[in-house]
Structure 1
Amino acid sequence: MKHSSRNQLIEYLSTMDQEYISGPELSKILNISRTAVWKHINELKKDGYQFETVHKKGYKLIQTPSHLSESSLQWDLHTKWLGKNLIYKEELGSTQTLAHQLAQDDAPHGTVVITNNQTSGRGRLNRKWESNHSDGIWMSIILRPKLAPYNASQMTLFTAVTLVDTLNTLTNLNVQIKWPNDLFINGKKCCGILTEMQAELDGIQYMVIGIGMNVNQDAHSFSEELLHQATSIRMETGEQWDRKQLITAILDNFEKAYKTYMDNGFSQIKQKWTKNAYKLNEKVHITMSNQSFDATIKGITEDGALLVFSDEEELVRVYSAEINW
């Protein structure tokens, strides 16, 4: 059974609103054999879909699975291109690693890699990201944007703003963006973004955006050291969350926001970033390769640098630094 036929079947069944549809009708609509339809229905049953089957009436979908799978994620996704090529693995070393391999093998723009359990998750500067469990969202998005390489850092900031918009809408939490790539709630990290790319001087060949989000962890999920630094959506809301709902909402919003960004540029993203910036107008200590100083955070520049006002009353662009927040 072709992957595209499976997706078409899922999309078609999702429009039926618990009505019966016969095997011959599905065969005609999808241009596949009745045997192929029957095999595909059985594969969906293995994924947790429940059907009622009546002679001469056909199949009626009565329940969709709550757990993550390729088909259950496709079911609730309403995008035009993002996630239409979706790879789900129950366990992976790293979604970033697989996404790079797929991108190098010409995976299309908008390919999404998701895992339930990531055994070798990593963040910025190769730091370990604790993700070897099924309580979070671990995914990577392959993009082929028409951007100059020097604007690539905008994509990290764009992703952060899109995630904040999504979480603020769904959870009513006050989510803030800590430069360059983290989301914070009440002073603790709940999400990290890792942007990597393959590029030449005249353009970006592909970009992989990794998202690691703490969703259903509780206080016992973190070590004592991490508990003072990390949090989850569940810990902040007191509720268990449907990861499938969060993933599809993120991807739906990402696709819409991506079009706006590509059509209108970075200015709107910059405004939203500033509105949600962590410790804006507050003092931090910055250590760069050749200097160390105290400064007040003022915002970001068009090329993604952090803009700070030093105690020597000088505006400084920070592209790479260790910051004591």
Structure 2
Amino acid sequence: MESTRNRLIQLLDKSDGYISGQQLSDKLNISRTAVWKHMKELEKDGYEIEAIQRKGYRILSSPDKVSENTVQWGLDTNWLGHQLFHYKEVPSTQDIAHQLAKQNKPHGTVVIADEQVKGKGRMSRPWHSPKGKGIWMSILLRPDLVPVQAPQLTLLAATVLAEVFGEEEKIAPQIKWPNDILISHKKVSGILTEMQAEHDQIQYVVLGIGINVNQTSEEIPEELRKKASSLRIESEQIWPITDTIKKLLHQFEVTYDQFMAHGFQHVKKLWEKYGYRIGEKVTIKTMKKEWEAVLVGIEPDGALRARDFNGNEEKLYSAEIQWGEGGYNAD
């Protein structure tokens, strides 16, 4: 259920000028005293509010920070982020989202933190999540899908990130299978998809998104500088974190709704448009063998498809992919 504060924010955002306390009271079905208390809470959050007798309320300025109020202010979504939980510091937004899922919070609930002290990626690898420098976010989804389709949501999220990042003309994002966004061959974002499911039905999915946004080169840990970067470094400009979150949530909802209505084909094509090393020769190592092949694309179940030089194709679910003098573990 949408919160009164969120509906109040929407009314204030859509108003071109003053909106009276009585109008807000009638539309929200709360007392004028309750409206006044909500306004005071917005002021505590950093909003500058003008209140004039016989005219009503008007927002003069918004705070330059991430909060539940600032993200929901002007958020152009129908269901995503209407329940939103913001924290200054958490061990991991994934952990919080799992707790909220078990409390029956609805599809589209979002968890955002300024800092994660135990951020994690795939295979329980640590994720450096410094305060105020990135987007550390988890989305709770309750899709009408079978468990084998869950990897499609990771691929979908990757295309959303690539599309939003690519709006900046200096940036040419690529998606490294299965879950990393690279710019200039360096990782700027990762996706972690976790689910609770029965044999034939997903109960819920927690989709974690970590984005290095405004770190400078010096703020990237020294041991990661050769393989990690940030949107700021690659675009040579500071990104507004709150506005970027809103863009991501809007684009995610649009893409997700299209996927649920029409299937995976559009996501697949978009992913392959951004796919890293697609069409290139690589060396593939698995537990059983090592061979050279060309990366062809992805399968609907999220597997990577490769073709050897005899024309034989193979689906990869876990492998080490190498090129040049380096490589990466795609497992």
TM-score normalised by structure 2 residue count: 0.94
**Identical residues among aligned pairs (%):** 47
User: Equivalences for 1:57-206 in 2 at 5 Å?
Assistant: 57-206=55-204
Counterpart in the other structure of 1:296: 294
Counterpart in the other structure of 2:7: 8
CA positional deviation for 1:312: 5.5
The answer to whether the 8 Å contact 1:47/1:65 transfers is yes
1:250 to 240, 248, 251: 248
Partner SS for 1:13: helix
User: Equivalences for 1:16-55 in 2 at 5 Å?
Assistant: 16-17=15-16, 19-55=17-53
The 10-residue stretch of structure 1 (210-219 or 301-310) with the greater mean CA deviation from structure 2: 301-310
The 10-residue stretch of structure 1 (168-177 or 250-259) with the greater mean CA deviation from structure 2: 168-177
The answer to whether the 8 Å contact 1:103/1:142 transfers is yes
Name the amino acid aligned to 2:33: T
1:124–1:249: structure 2 CA closer, same or farther, 3 Å change rule?
same
The answer to whether the 8 Å contact 2:170/2:234 transfers is no
Question: Partners in 2 of 1:25 and 1:273 — Cα distance?
Answer: 47
Question: Partners in 1 of 2:172 and 2:141 — Cα distance?
Answer: 28
1:6–1:124: structure 2 CA closer, same or farther, 3 Å change rule?
same
The answer to whether the 8 Å contact 2:285/2:321 transfers is yes
The answer to whether the 8 Å contact 1:120/1:132 transfers is no
- Gap runs ≥5 in structure 1: none
Counterpart in the other structure of 1:284: 282
CA positional deviation for 1:3: 7.0
CA positional deviation for 1:54: 1.8
Corresponding residue pairs, total? 323
Deviations 1:268-314 (A, max 9, x none): 11111111110112222323233333322111111110011235542
CA positional deviation for 1:27: 1.5
The 10-residue stretch of structure 1 (60-69 or 118-127) with the greater mean CA deviation from structure 2: 60-69
CA positional deviation for 1:323: 2.5
The 10-residue stretch of structure 1 (72-81 or 285-294) with the greater mean CA deviation from structure 2: 285-294
Deviations 1:123-151 (A, max 9, x none): 00000001032110000001111111111
Name the amino acid aligned to 2:237: E
CA positional deviation for 1:165: 1.2
CA positional deviation for 1:181: 0.3
- Gap runs ≥5 in structure 2: none
The answer to whether the 8 Å contact 1:5/1:30 transfers is yes
Partner SS for 1:76: coil
Deviations 1:251-270 (A, max 9, x none): 00111111111111111111
Question: Partners in 2 of 1:125 and 1:159 — Cα distance?
Answer: 18
Name the amino acid aligned to 1:10: I
Counterpart in the other structure of 1:212: 210
Name the amino acid aligned to 1:79: T
Counterpart in the other structure of 1:316: 314
The answer to whether the 8 Å contact 1:157/1:273 transfers is yes
TM-score normalised by structure 1 residue count: 0.96
Question: Partners in 1 of 2:170 and 2:271 — Cα distance?
Answer: 17
Question: Partners in 2 of 1:101 and 1:312 — Cα distance?
Answer: 50
The answer to whether the 8 Å contact 2:77/2:253 transfers is yes
CA positional deviation for 1:318: 0.4
1:184–1:33: structure 2 CA closer, same or farther, 3 Å change rule?
same
Name the amino acid aligned to 1:78: D
